[in-house]
Structure formats: C-alpha cells, structure tokens
C-alpha cells in the first residue's frame, strides 16, 4: 500500500510539472539563426584563411549564447558547424516554425569596389494581392504573408536603429530586394550583411572580436524589442 501511495504521489507531482514545462516551451519566442553558407560553399573571401561562412558561424554562435540568457526566447540554428545546408532546407526549417517566430540570416557583403562600406539589412519583397479567381484560400495565404512582411520591415527598422550604435553612419538603408533565402517565407525574416569584406576597414571590423560582440548585442536588443 505504501508503494502504491508513493507512486500515486509521484504521478501527482510529475504530470503537472511536465505539463508546465510543455506549456512554458510553447510560450517561448522562437528565433531561427541562419549562419550563411557552410561546407564547400565558403561565401565571400575575407582573408586567405577566413571565409564568410566562418564569420557567419561565429556570429550565429555568439548570438545563440547571448539569447540563452533570456528564458523567454528559444533558439534554433540552421547549422552549428562547417557543413553545407541547402537554401531549400533553410527555408523549410524557417517555415516549419510556429507563428510569431523570427528568422535572421547572417552574411558578409562584397563587391561594388573597395570603397563600398557599411551594413545592409534586407527584408522580403512585397507582392500584389491575388486576384478573385484564386479563391479565398489564396487570399488568406496572402494575408498571412503580408503580416510576416510587415513584421519583417518592423524588425529591420529596429535592427537598423540598434546597429547605428555599433557602426555609426555606416547604414546603407533597408533594402527590399530578391534574395533566395527570403523567398516564400511565412514568418518575419531579414538578412543582415554586417560589412564589406572587399573594404579594408570593414574587413578589420568583422574580424574584430569586440565588434562581433557589439553586433550580437545589437541583434539581441533588437530581438527583445521586436517581441
């Protein structure tokens, strides 16, 4: 009898605890951190030994560590090591997330000559609403998509403001441009190009640990403000 009573007591204690843990997990805000490139896809050349994929992974891991300090935020990574992850899989991971999640893709820029400098923030492009012939399902889908696009712009604006404290007067504006990683996403999403590897000063900054941490803190602050 004592053993039965003890087991009943354990069930009484453990079941509510497990339910509370499940509910707590569901209430967390989800952030998907996407470290660009990986594996044989090195991305932009930063130095002879460092590629864009390396800096992106460092920033993503630092951001994961920073966000772990907040019990209300849950993090999912598209990659945690130097491995190749297709864009289709990255989008699949993002779109499998619950409503209200946030997707951040971290990159290093290049091109436009050696004088190009600063950071850029991209958000998904807006599309026209579907016609009446496409039916209510298509219209509803478009409404959901427009909600995520509006949220993307809102987060981009917040991030731009906070990045100014890290790289003053280096913002190149918010950009609505076609980027494969942002295509057909159903959640708030941005791409952050943290600097130009083709610019001497920018290259030094993206390699600098203090600047990397400052970028991560700006991202973390922006995420908290967004939620």
Residue with tokens 């950071």: 119
Domain of 65? 29-226
Asked if the structure places residue 69 within a domain, the reply is yes
pLDDT tens, position by position, 159-172: 999 999 999 999 99
Position 39 in a domain: yes
Residue among 227, 203, 215 at smallest CA distance from 151:
227
100 within domain boundaries: yes
Q: Is residue 85 part of a domain?
A: yes
Domain count of the fold of the chain: 1
| Per-residue model confidence as pLDDT tens digits over 1-55 | 555 554 444 444 444 544 444 444 557 999 999 999 999 999 999 999 999 999 9
Q: What percent of the chain has pLDDT over 90?
A: 72
Q: Does any domain span residue 191? A: yes
Is 6 among the domain residues? no
Name the nearest CA neighbour of 176 among 158, 143, 149. Answer: 149
Is residue 23 in some structural domain?
Answer: no
Residue 124 lies in a domain: yes
Q: What is the CATH number of the domain that holds 182?
A: 3.40.630.40
Of 128, 156, 154, 153, which Cα lies nearest the Cα of 142? Answer: 128
């Amino acid at each position: 009898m004592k053993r039965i009573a003890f087991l009943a007591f354990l069930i009484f204690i453990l079941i509510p605890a497990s339910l509370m843990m499940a509910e707590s997990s569901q209430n967390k805000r989800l952030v998907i951190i996407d470290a660009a490139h990986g594996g044989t896809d090195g991305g932009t050349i930063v130095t002879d030994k460092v590629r864009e994929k390396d800096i992106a992974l460092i920033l993503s891991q630092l951001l994961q560590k920073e966000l772990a300090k907040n019990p209300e935020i849950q993090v999912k990574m598209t990659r945690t090591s130097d491995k190749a992850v297709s864009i289709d899989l990255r989008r699949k991971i993002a779109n499998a997330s619950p409503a209200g999640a946030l997707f951040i893709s971290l990159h290093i820029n290049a091109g436009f000559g050696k004088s190009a400098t600063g950071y850029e923030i991209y958000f998904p492009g807006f599309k026209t609403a579907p016609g009446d012939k496409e039916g209510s399902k298509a219209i509803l889908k478009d409404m959901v998509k427009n909600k995520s696009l509006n949220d993307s712009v809102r987060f981009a604006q917040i991030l731009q403001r906070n990045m100014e404290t890290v790289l003053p007067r280096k913002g190149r504006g918010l950009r609505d441009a076609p980027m494969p990683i942002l295509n057909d996403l159903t959640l708030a999403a941005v791409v952050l190009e943290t600097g130009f590897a083709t610019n001497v000063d920018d290259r030094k900054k993206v390699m600098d640990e203090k600047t990397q941490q400052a970028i991560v803190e700006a991202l973390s602050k922006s995420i908290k403000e967004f939620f």
